[in-house]
């Protein structure tokens, strides 16, 4: 099994890059694990308390469960991937049965901040986009898809998201095997990644 980690700041376009990579790979041979599924279970907290959590800090992620699940997949067994609710700021009681594939892509802003998880990646990719572009994408997504209001998104960006990006996420660039600039559609970098994957699969 080939495990690929794809990181980068919020709104950098990781999901787009993932889609571009898997678009021409054989169907059924690529699986995706999202860091968002592995936010800590906060069922013991009230909604108001959960809303004040800094979800852009590495401590917000259950890396032990993620590592255990990746190890289970690598051993050839399926996992029950958690399901996260952004409106509720918490995991739901649902899970998704996720089977091992020849290629597993793990994507998320914080996945390369944890040494244990980094060591499990065969290929580490960092998707880069400038901060203005990332903010615009974050605004559109959080308002349209996650039910946030404009002031809430801007406050979170200014008070937690940007400081956490500068402190924890941007520095993980140094661990990347490949950095993909994603201000525009980047076919060359994505083709290189796809070629590497095809060679490994062969």
pLDDT digits (tens, 9 = 90+) for 11-47: 777 888 888 888 878 878 899 999 999 999 999 999 9
pTM as predicted: 0.85
Number of structural domains in the chain: 1
Contact yes or no for 27/178 (Cβ under 8 A): no
Sorted by sequence, the CB contacts under 8 Å of residue 90 that are 6+ apart come out as 39, 41, 42, 43, 50, 84
Instruction: Give the CATH number of the domain where residue 26 resides.
Output: 3.40.50.300
Best CA proximity match to 64, nearest among 87, 98, 41: 41
Q: Please state, rounded to an integer, the average pLDDT across all residues of the chain.
A: 87
pLDDT in tens, 54-68: 888 999 999 999 999
Give the integer Cα–Cα distance in Å for 168 and 66.
19
Tell me, what's the pLDDT at 44? 92
* Residue 202 placed within a domain: no
Residue 189 lies in a domain: yes
Rounded alpha-carbon distances, angstroms, from residue 94 to 13, 42, 77, 81, 85: 27, 15, 19, 9, 10
pLDDT band at 97 (very low <50, low <70, confident <90, very high): very high
Domain-embedded: residue 143: yes
Q: Is residue 138 part of a domain?
A: yes
21 assigned to some structural domain: yes
Tens digits of per-residue pLDDT, 144-199? 777 677 777 777 777 777 888 889 999 999 999 998 886 555 678 888 888 888 88
Residue 201 belongs to a domain: no
What pLDDT score was predicted for residue 186? Answer: 66
- Residue 130: predicted pLDDT: 73
Q: Is residue 101 part of a domain?
A: yes
DSSP state, residue 41: P
Q: What pLDDT score does 183 carry?
A: 56
Flag whether 30 is in a domain. Answer: yes
Domain of residue 41: give its range: 5-195
């Amino acid at each position: 099994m080939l495990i690929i980690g794809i990181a980068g700041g919020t709104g950098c376009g990781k999901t787009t890059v993932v889609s571009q990579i898997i678009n021409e790979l054989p169907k059924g041979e690529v699986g995706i694990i999202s860091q968002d599924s592995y936010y800590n279970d906060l069922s013991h907290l009230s909604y108001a308390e959960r809303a004040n959590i800094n979800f852009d800090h590495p401590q917000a992620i259950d890396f032990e469960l993620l590592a255990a699940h990746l190890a289970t997949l690598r051993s050839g067994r399926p996992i029950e991937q958690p399901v996260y609710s952004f409106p509720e700021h918490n995991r739901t009681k649902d899970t998704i049965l996720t089977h091992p594939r020849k290629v597993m892509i793990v994507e998320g802003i914080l996945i390369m901040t944890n040494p244990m998880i980094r060591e499990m990646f065969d290929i580490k990719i960092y998707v880069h986009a400038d901060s203005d572009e990332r903010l615009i994408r974050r605004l559109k997504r959080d308002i349209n898809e996650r039910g946030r209001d404009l002031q809430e998104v801007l406050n979170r960006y200014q008070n937690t998201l940007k400081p956490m990006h500068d402190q924890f996420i941007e520095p993980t660039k140094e661990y990347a095997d490949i950095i993909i600039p994603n201000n525009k559609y980047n076919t060359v970098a994505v083709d290189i990644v796809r070629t590497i994957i095809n060679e490994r699969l062969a």
